[in-house]
Amino acid sequence: MENKRIQLLEYRKKLLLMTEEEKIKHDLYLRDLSLGKIEGPNTGFPSLDKKHLVFFKKEHISNPLPHMTATEYLKEKNKNNLNKIAMDCTEGIITYKDFFTTIDKTACSLHKIGVRKGKCLVGMLPSDLPYENYLLYGACSSGSAVNFIVQGTPLKTLAKMINDLPTDYFFVSNDDFNLEMEEYLYKNTKIKNIINVSKEFDSNDKRTISWQEFMKCGQNYQLPEINRNPEDLLFMAKTGGTTGEPKNVMINDNGFNIIVHQLLNSELNYSVGDKWLRVWSLFSASAAISSSHLALCAGMNNILRKMPSPENFATLIMKEKPNHLCLVSALIDLLIYSGITKEDIESFIKTAGIGGEKITPQFEERASNFLPDYLGYGYGCTENSSSAVLRMNKETAIPGKIGIPYIKTVIGAFDKDTLEEKGYNEEGEICIQSYTPMIGYYNDPEATKEVLKVHPDGSVWIHTGDLGSIDEQGFLTVTGRIKEFISLFSGDKAYPTTIEAVISKVPGVIKVSVVRAPDFNHEEHFVPSAVIVVDKNFNKEEIRKNIKKACEVHLPKYSFPQDIIIKEDLPYLASGKPNRKKMESDIEEGMKLAKKLELF
Q: What is the CATH number of the domain that holds 204?
A: 3.40.50.980
Facing residues of 89 across strands?
92
Average pLDDT over residues 14-36: 96
| CA atoms of 444 and 347, how far apart (whole Å) | 48
| CA atoms of 360 and 511, how far apart (whole Å) | 7
Question: How many DSSP H helices and E strands does the chain contain?
Answer: 21, 28
One domain for residues 50 and 134:
no
Q: Is 118 left (phi over 0), alpha (psi -120 to 50) or beta?
A: left
Looking at residue 232, what is its pLDDT?
Answer: 97
280 assigned to some structural domain: no
One domain for residues 52 and 156:
no
| CA atoms of 478 and 80, how far apart (whole Å) | 41
- Least Cα distance to 368 among 356, 377, 379 occurs for 377
Burial of 170 (0-12, 13-18, 19+ CB in 10 A): buried
| CA atoms of 272 and 85, how far apart (whole Å) | 10
385 assigned to some structural domain: no
Which of 157, 181, 216 is a domain's end point? 216
The answer to whether residue 1 scores a pLDDT higher than 70 is no
Question: Hey, which of 38-47, 487-496, 510-519, 552-561 has the most confident mean pLDDT?
Answer: 38-47
591 assigned to some structural domain: yes
Q: Is there a contact between 239 and 246 (Cβ–Cβ < 8 Å)?
A: yes
Domain of 576, CATH number, reads: 3.30.300.30
One domain for residues 53 and 118:
no
Question: Hey, which of 56-65, 328-337, 349-358 has the most confident mean pLDDT?
Answer: 56-65
Instruction: Give the lowest-confidence range in 205-219, 272-286, 566-580.
Output: 566-580
pLDDT classification of 94: cutoffs 50, 70, 90: very high
Residues 397-420: pLDDT tens digits?
999 899 999 999 999 999 989 999
| CA atoms of 525 and 228, how far apart (whole Å) | 53
What are the Cα distances from residue 460, in Å, to 248, 315, 332, 405, 470?
Answer: 20, 46, 36, 17, 20
Nearby residues of 79 by Cβ (< 8 Å), 6 or more positions away: none
Looking at residue 105, what is its pLDDT?
Answer: 98
- Structural element, H or E, at residue 543: helix 540-554
Looking at residue 242, what is its pLDDT?
Answer: 46
- Nearest-10 crossing angle of helices 96-112, 131-142: 60
- Nearest-10 crossing angle of helices 329-336, 361-370: 50
Looking at residue 593, what is its pLDDT?
Answer: 72
The CA-CA-CA angle for residues 402, 406, 408, to 5°, reads 155
Which of 167, 184, 216 is a domain's end point? 216
> How many other β-carbons are positioned within 10 Å of the β-carbon of residue 267?
16
Nearby residues of 241 by Cβ (< 8 Å), 6 or more positions away: 573, 575, 581
Looking at residue 493, what is its pLDDT?
Answer: 75
Number of domains within the chain: 3
pLDDT classification of 458: cutoffs 50, 70, 90: very high
Residues 245-254: pLDDT tens digits?
678 999 999 9
Report pTM: 0.86
Indicate the DSSP class of residue 448: H
Residues 183-236: pLDDT tens digits?
999 999 999 999 999 999 999 999 999 999 999 999 999 999 999 999 999 999
Domain that holds residue 588: 484-598
Which of 216, 249, 280 is a domain's end point? 216
547 assigned to some structural domain: yes
The answer to whether residue 600 scores a pLDDT higher than 70 is no
One domain for residues 517 and 566:
yes
Nearby residues of 115 by Cβ (< 8 Å), 6 or more positions away: 121, 139, 142, 143, 144, 168, 169
Looking at residue 291, what is its pLDDT?
Answer: 93
547 or 246: which carries more pLDDT confidence? 547
33 assigned to some structural domain: yes
Helix (H, G, I), strand (E, B) or coil at 449: helix
One domain for residues 26 and 135:
no
Longest CA–CA separation in the chain, Å: 80
Looking at residue 229, what is its pLDDT?
Answer: 96
Helix (H, G, I), strand (E, B) or coil at 573: coil
Q: Is there a contact between 498 and 555 (Cβ–Cβ < 8 Å)?
A: yes
The CA-CA-CA angle for residues 452, 454, 459, to 5°, reads 105
Looking at residue 444, what is its pLDDT?
Answer: 95
One domain for residues 134 and 202:
yes
| CA atoms of 410 and 139, how far apart (whole Å) | 31
- Least Cα distance to 498 among 509, 510, 486, 489 occurs for 486
Q: Is there a contact between 82 and 95 (Cβ–Cβ < 8 Å)?
A: yes
Looking at residue 90, what is its pLDDT?
Answer: 96
Q: Is there a contact between 419 and 292 (Cβ–Cβ < 8 Å)?
A: no
541 assigned to some structural domain: yes
Looking at residue 598, what is its pLDDT?
Answer: 58
Average pLDDT over residues 35-45: 93
Average pLDDT over residues 96-115: 97
Looking at residue 243, what is its pLDDT?
Answer: 44
One domain for residues 537 and 593:
yes
Q: What percent of the chain has pLDDT over 70?
A: 96
The answer to whether residue 14 scores a pLDDT higher than 50 is yes
What are the Cα distances from residue 485, in Å, to 482, 488, 494?
Answer: 8, 9, 5
| CA atoms of 252 and 236, how far apart (whole Å) | 9
Q: Is there a contact between 509 and 547 (Cβ–Cβ < 8 Å)?
A: yes
Residues 488-507: pLDDT tens digits?
767 777 878 789 889 988 99
The answer to whether residue 567 scores a pLDDT higher than 60 is yes
- Structural element, H or E, at residue 325: strand 324-327
Looking at residue 536, what is its pLDDT?
Answer: 87
| CA atoms of 421 and 439, how far apart (whole Å) | 24
6 or 65: which carries more pLDDT confidence? 65
Looking at residue 358, what is its pLDDT?
Answer: 73
- Least Cα distance to 411 among 58, 60, 48, 44 occurs for 48
Nearby residues of 20 by Cβ (< 8 Å), 6 or more positions away: 64, 65
Looking at residue 439, what is its pLDDT?
Answer: 98
560 assigned to some structural domain: yes
Facing residues of 226 across strands?
none
Burial of 249 (0-12, 13-18, 19+ CB in 10 A): buried
One domain for residues 110 and 171:
yes
Nearby residues of 462 by Cβ (< 8 Å), 6 or more positions away: 381, 383, 384, 431, 432, 433, 434, 437, 438, 451, 452
Average pLDDT, the chain: 92
The string over 399-422, giving b where at least 16 C-beta atoms fall within 10 Å of a residue's C-beta and e elsewhere, is eebbbbbbbbbbbbbbeeeebebb
Helix (H, G, I), strand (E, B) or coil at 502: helix
Q: Is there a contact between 440 and 250 (Cβ–Cβ < 8 Å)?
A: yes
pLDDT classification of 5: cutoffs 50, 70, 90: confident
Strand order in the sheet with 509-518: 509-518, 526-534, 564-566
Q: Are strands 386-390 and 564-566 parallel, antiparallel or unpaired?
A: unpaired
| CA atoms of 575 and 524, how far apart (whole Å) | 31
One domain for residues 47 and 132:
no
One domain for residues 113 and 33:
no
One domain for residues 50 and 103:
no
One domain for residues 497 and 550:
yes
| CA atoms of 290 and 576, how far apart (whole Å) | 14
270 assigned to some structural domain: no
